[in-house]
Chain A
Amino acid sequence: MTRPRMGLPDLGFGVGLRSVHFDYILSRQPQVDWFEIISENFMDSGGWPRHVLERIAERYPLVMHGVSLSIGSTDPLDFAYLGKLKQLAQVIGARWISDHLCWTGVQGQNTHDLLPLPLNDETLRHVVGRVRVVQDFLEQPLVLENPSSYLTFRSDTLNEWEFITALAEEADCGLLLDVNNVYVSSVNHGFDAFEYIESVPPERVVQIHLAGHTDCGTHIVDTHDGQVTDDVWELYRLAYSRTAGVSTLLEWDSKIPSFPDLHAEVLKARNHLTEGARTPTESSDRRGAPLPTPLQESFAGAHPPHLILTEHS
């Protein structure tokens, strides 16, 4: 029988480490339970970002979250990349390594997007085989996140929750349940988000992601650019209650607020869990509501880019 969280620790309430907050974190050493990093931003770094990371690793638990593993690609796995991933995990003592159930490119290209997979038995076999290879190489369980998606394939034969459940069990890997992504995809594809959450094996859920999204009228985009909406908090409460306590992480990648505001947003999760309080947000129940005016064609960007360029002051 699988132990809760695959035997991995409940780290509490953390936030994504972003370069705009480096100076604040180093100088103030805020009381944050843990940080999640974007693995690719630090794998080759020899400058200020890597220096900051190693200093933060001395004080805070860290988890590595990747965006380029491309576990669903039909290109061969990149073992040079995996080697760097493993090395970084050892240096900073990462509690686990996660990435996304997606593919990012083929024929040697990387679109830097989390592209969707056809959800059928053939894809499942393909991904299960690759997860096993990656786990053998990393010598630890891989934790995979359900991505938000904007299309489905006619060759789909499984629901996403059926797919990730079968994947987790057959490959013996962990799950990073992004409840915002569940919500985004449920609106885009017209499925029941609550059924999704209730169907995922709770003992496989190692971590939960929270984030904000943008309603474009005809679809919702996972923009990570605002507060968590009430709909997502509701899903979070359900997801959390099904686990034996699980690490919770807020992602915020565009229009990033000050660190105290960012931290305060994830700490709302405590209120939602302990008091069942409903924190007012800008969003109301999306289902059945009239569609708002679509955004301009300007970027309502899915998965904002993760690129460190901020120089320290």
Chain B
Amino acid sequence: MSTGEQDEREMELSRIQRMMQVVVTRPAGDLIGVSRGAERGGRAASIEMLEEVVSPSSTLSGLERLAIYHRSYHARLLECFQAMFPALLQALGEDLFNRFALDYLQAHPPRSYTLSQLADAFPEHLAGTRPDADAALADRESWPDFIINLAALELAFMQVYDGPGVEGRQLPSGRHILALPLGTLLDARPALVPCLRLFAFRYPVSAYLSAARRGERPALPMPKDNFAVVTRRDYRVVIYEVSRSEYALLHNLDGRRTMGQALRRSEPTCDCALTAETGRGWLCDWADKGLLESL
């Protein structure tokens, strides 16, 4: 076989794979769309053309055999989504949840070798496709925030569970921080553990998620600011609710700023007097909860 002929045959394999992928990843339940999907793949194709590529069996046409992969693709990924977001599934119900997930998959088909990254952009997708996405912030409905907040928290839960942690490492203790002279404390540069995620939500989704994970069926909550820390200790994911002021200080502890600088930067957004001793008290508490990697 000449090089040209070989290239042509390899292009044939490539063409079959591109066509099959377009068909398999068409929107769920759209069997007729199989042929339209192939057209969108850049090559006009009809059901007859697909049948020219795929052989029938004794019981199924070529198209019906392709449809097995089509159904399987969506069912598999939906199953993953439902396992990743059990609280959101409970809140939305299966039909609506699946609609959101399938819409996401059409916009963000999986590209990673691991399913654990399947939903990495799901909260952003929900935020970008909310019905009032184009409205001014003040004019927006609040309920989409609940869905977006809950999706973000469940995604963080999963990422913290399987991401890098600090198990086996010596972390600062509250007792050590309590014993520090004030000047030393203000010059320290506290850093948070790498598995920590910090959130400011418009809905109390941390309590909702905790209840759902306990097997309860919590009522849909009313809007209420919710500041939450998601972290991991001894391989267990833990969610702490914090005050607005604690959130502000945590947000400013990046390992580069001193404690004094962080206190000053946090003060304008705090809802209480933020003294050095208040900060020390929080720092002790956070250290004992394993939130601090270093000082």
Q: Is A57 an interface residue (CB 8 A)?
A: no
Q: Is B16 an interface residue (CB 8 A)?
A: yes
Give the shortest distance, in Å, between A14 (CB) and chain B (any CB): 23
Give the shortest distance, in Å, between A41 (CB) and chain B (any CB): 7
Q: How far is the CA of A43 from the CA of B117 in the complex (A)?
A: 12
Q: Are B10 and A122 in contact (CB under 8 A)?
A: yes
A51 in contact with B235 given A113-B69, A126-B13, A307-B116 (CB within 8 Å): yes
Give the shortest distance, in Å, between B195 (CB) and chain A (any CB): 8
Q: How far is the CA of A302 from the CA of B24 in the complex (A)?
A: 13
Q: Mark A90-114, 1 if CB is under 8 A from B, else 0.
A: 0000000000000101111111110
A68 in contact with B113 given A109-B21, A218-B59 (CB within 8 Å): yes
Q: Are B110 and A109 in contact (CB under 8 A)?
A: yes
Q: How far is the CA of A303 from the CA of B163 in the complex (A)?
A: 26
Task: Please tell me which stretch of A148-156, A164-172, A256-264 contacts chain B, meaning at least 4 of its Cβ atoms lie within 8 angstroms of it.
Answer: A148-156
Q: Mark A164-199, 1 if CB is under 8 A from B, else 0.
A: 000000000000000000000000111000000000
Q: Is B57 an interface residue (CB 8 A)?
A: yes
Chain A count of residues within 8 A CB distance of the other chain: 61
Give the shortest distance, in Å, between B122 (CB) and chain A (any CB): 14
Q: Is B276 an interface residue (CB 8 A)?
A: no
Which secondary structure characterizes the binding site on chain A? loop
Q: Is B211 an interface residue (CB 8 A)?
A: no
Q: Are A81 and B59 in contact (CB under 8 A)?
A: no
Chain B count of residues within 8 A CB distance of the other chain: 57
Contacts of A304 in B (CB 8 A): 76, 79
From B6, B57, B75, contact of A301 by CB (8 A): B75
Q: Is A79 an interface residue (CB 8 A)?
A: no
Q: Is A305 an interface residue (CB 8 A)?
A: yes
Among residues of A, the one whose C-beta sits closest to the C-beta of B164 is A46
Task: Please tell me which stretch of B32-40, B47-55, B266-274 contacts chain A, meaning at least 4 of its Cβ atoms lie within 8 angstroms of it.
Answer: B47-55
Q: Mark A19-54, 1 if CB is under 8 A from B, else 0.
A: 000000000000000000000110111111111000
Contacts of A221 in B (CB 8 A): 68
Q: Is B72 an interface residue (CB 8 A)?
A: yes
Q: Mark A188-232, 1 if CB is under 8 A from B, else 0.
A: 111000000000000000000000000000110100000000000
Given contacts A111-B21, A302-B68, A307-B80, 19 further A-B contacts (CB under 8 A): A43-B114, A46-B165, A47-B163, A51-B235, A74-B14, A106-B17, A109-B21, A110-B112, A112-B76, A112-B110, A113-B76, A126-B13, A151-B62, A152-B55, A153-B55, A155-B53, A219-B60, A301-B72, A303-B76
List A residues at the B interface (Cβ < 8 Å): 40-41, 43-51, 68, 73-74, 78, 81, 103, 105-113, 115, 117-118, 122-123, 125-126, 150-156, 188-190, 218-219, 221, 291, 297-299, 301-309, 311-312
